[in-house]
Structure 1
Amino acid sequence: MSSINYTTRTEGQTKINTIIWTVPNFVNLLENKVIREFRTEKSKDPTADASESRFQLKMQFLGRDNDIIEIYYLSPNPVFLKSLLTICLKRFEERTIVIKEYHTIQANKWQYLATLFKRDIASYEGRDVYLLSDGSLRIKFQFMVTNDIKVEHSNVPEAQLSDDFENLLNNGLFSDVTMKSAEGTEYKVHKAVLASRSAVLKAHFEHNTTECYTNTIESPLEADVLREVLTFIYSDKAPRVDEIPEKLLAAADYYQLNRLKSLCEEALHKRLTVENAIETLQLADLHSANTLKQLTLEFIKDGQARLITTTDGWAKVKSVELIKRIYEYIMADDVDGDIK
């Protein structure tokens, strides 16, 4: 069973919540392929009012061998806070690995804080990197809540700009251009919105292009992908990014939608396994997804190379340049170098 040490103190207008979470025999927990999530119990803070609950914490284990550990927290109230995550090391040493400056968070909604990697917790050379002498993992959270900027319940409605723009897409009101999918499905859209979000789409309306006269844009994307791209352009949301990240990555690269591209890279990184590592690396290389490329190369280097050479993806590799790049990255001393 894990243990929690929860303390609070006040400095001026700021309440500092400090949580030390100790998980014993953490390597054994990682080797348990059944457990995919581990969280603290929901409980009351004995030093606070009866109506005030504590922050909750959880870990999610991702990857076939639990190679990635994502850490989340949940606040019982909407607050404006700064968060810090610190790893407690041997000999009373500490290492702060994440600092997130003040921002507003919603109540009772899990908030992503950090990602740890299995290789950093217990290295393959037998060195316990982040573990204490007894094999436990101890991490310290600090949540600094500013009371003077705390988000309170009020009569001010929530911002709905993205919803309003999405409705503009859905009803086609005042549209001045038509966008067609590869199958011919038509969407009534607006030049000003498209041009403000994508340099590629903006170019369709500049100079003496065909689109200027026909007010029609022919897209190479399938209808379901184009619909998702337009939803992102209008609302900055991508509801299906976890379902079709490969297709959306290609679309985001094509229309130069950098934030959507980053969301796709994150989704593909979360589903990274030994079996799909080569395909993911090829996809990242094709669409200049440098963050995903770096993370995939790190995954391959981190003790996975031998296993990956037995997969179907490796057997189908035809690019000598790709094989050379993997080899050079694995053998390089400077793993932090830029990917060319």
Structure 2
Amino acid sequence: MSNINYTSRTEGQTKINTIIWTVPHFVNLLENKTTREFRTEKAKETCLDPICTRFHLKMQFLGRDNDIIEIYYLSPDPVFLKSILTICLKRFEERSIVIKEYHTVQANKWQYLATLFKRDITGYDGRDIFLLNDGSLRLKFQFIVSNDIKVEHSNVPEAQLSNDFENLLNNGLFSDVIMKSVEGNEYKVHKAVLASRSLVLKAHFEHNTTECQTNIVESPLEAEVLNEVLIFIYTDKAPSVDDVPEKLLAAADYYQLSRLKSLCEEALHKKLTVENAIETLQLAELHSAKILKQLTLEFIKDGQAKLITKTEGWAKVKSVDLIKAIYEYIMNDDIEADIK
């Protein structure tokens, strides 16, 4: 039987609902091949706020040996929310697994949130990576509900603003500036849209600059990357972020597109391996991607350091500061563990 703890608080126009789901003896649950689904029970709440019992959770076990665990949640009401899943580790540490930005959630329909892997829960050498000292798995869910944009009817048509702006980019209607890639590819765009989305692009049109006089912006980006950046600027979407996250991270940093930068960090985190950990850490350092840097250092710390020192990326490291940062991060964790 699992343990559920619900709390909620209000901040301005949003309500933050936190659910901590603790599943004891989780490895035993994984080893039970007949278990294909595990849900939270209906909570016996004393909380007078009905939001406390709004969300329900479940796990689905996939694969012959329950190698894949998919996490879902359900809301009885249609809402507009942001969801965050964090895993609670030993020594009071936490690790963010997934962050999904605000989107509409239908009522009484299970929503996919994240995937966990059995190999991450029980490491290759038998270490429990994601488990607490007593063998339990503890997940923290945060559902941030926007009260002022709450959806009252599930049949409301989907918002068309993103599609309309994408059409505006594609057909170039009423464009007043040309943006060129490094190869010379031209894109008909709009000053107002560019300036509203990027402080760097805004600066091109605020003063007596060459761009302001010629209405031509020369970009240092390749056409493939510039096209994706413009799609993001116009639609707030990044359809190819998983294909070229390294290049898009550099572009997002250059044009100060913070949300695109976060999407790139998430994509690079998902692709993190022993072989590319050093390159990813160098990339994060180069573009001030603090979240990616932190997640990569945690990856190295979690029993991967010895393997990483045998990779080609490690052999090519020339930065003493980078090696020092890795060493200090690992040693600091060990010192804290000895103190506790």
Rate the CA distance shift 1:309–1:5 in 2: closer, same or farther, 3 A: closer
Aligned-partner residue type, residue 186 of structure 1:
E
Q: Which residue number in structure 2 is paired with residue 302 of structure 1?
A: 302
Q: Which residue number in structure 2 is paired with residue 26 of structure 1?
A: 27
Aligned-partner residue type, residue 264 of structure 2:
C
Q: Which residue number in structure 1 is paired with residue 239 of structure 2?
A: 239
Q: How does 1:1-340 map to 2 (within 5 A)?
A: 22=23, 26=27, 40=37, 55=56, 57-58=58-59, 71-74=71-74, 78-79=78-79, 105-107=104-106, 108=109, 110-112=111-113, 130-131=131-132, 133=134, 135=135, 137=137, 151-153=151-153, 156-333=156-333
Contact kept? 1:87, 1:97, Cα under 8 Å = yes
Rate the CA distance shift 1:324–1:117 in 2: closer, same or farther, 3 A: farther
Aligned-partner residue type, residue 110 of structure 1:
Q
Contact kept? 1:84, 1:96, Cα under 8 Å = no
Q: Which residue number in structure 2 is paired with residue 12 of structure 1?
A: none
Q: Deviations over 1:300-335 (max 9, x none)?
A: 122111110001111111222211221222222599
Rate the CA distance shift 1:255–1:59 in 2: closer, same or farther, 3 A: farther
- Superposition CA RMSD, Å: 5.2
> What is the distance in 1 between the residues matched to 2:242 and 2:104?
23
> What is the distance in 1 between the residues matched to 2:104 and 2:259?
20
Q: Deviations over 1:175-220 (max 9, x none)?
A: 0001111111111000111011111111111322111221111111
Aligned-partner residue type, residue 105 of structure 2:
Q
Aligned-partner residue type, residue 58 of structure 2:
L
Q: Deviations over 1:219-260 (max 9, x none)?
A: 111111111100111111111111111010000011111110
Structure 1: where are the runs of 5+ without partners? 7-15, 46-53
Rate the CA distance shift 1:39–1:186 in 2: closer, same or farther, 3 A: farther
Q: Deviations over 1:120-169 (max 9, x none)?
A: 988x9978984475x454668798999xx974436643322222211111
> What is the distance in 2 between the residues matched to 1:230 and 1:145?
30
Rate the CA distance shift 1:115–1:260 in 2: closer, same or farther, 3 A: farther
Describe the SS at the equivalent of 2:193.
helix
How many pairs align?
Answer: 302
> What is the distance in 1 between the residues matched to 2:145 and 2:201?
42
Rate the CA distance shift 1:248–1:308 in 2: closer, same or farther, 3 A: same
Contact kept? 2:70, 2:112, Cα under 8 Å = no
Describe the SS at the equivalent of 1:254.
helix
> What is the distance in 2 between the residues matched to 1:313 and 1:189?
40
Percent of matched pairs sharing the same residue: 66
Contact kept? 2:198, 2:257, Cα under 8 Å = yes
Aligned-partner residue type, residue 328 of structure 1:
E
Aligned-partner residue type, residue 230 of structure 1:
L
Aligned-partner residue type, residue 106 of structure 1:
V
Contact kept? 2:166, 2:234, Cα under 8 Å = yes
> What is the distance in 2 between the residues matched to 1:303 and 1:120?
13
Q: Which residue number in structure 2 is paired with residue 48 of structure 1?
A: none
Describe the SS at the equivalent of 1:283.
helix
TM-score norm. by structure 2 comes to 0.68
> What is the distance in 2 between the residues matched to 1:86 and 1:319?
32
Rate the CA distance shift 1:327–1:173 in 2: closer, same or farther, 3 A: same
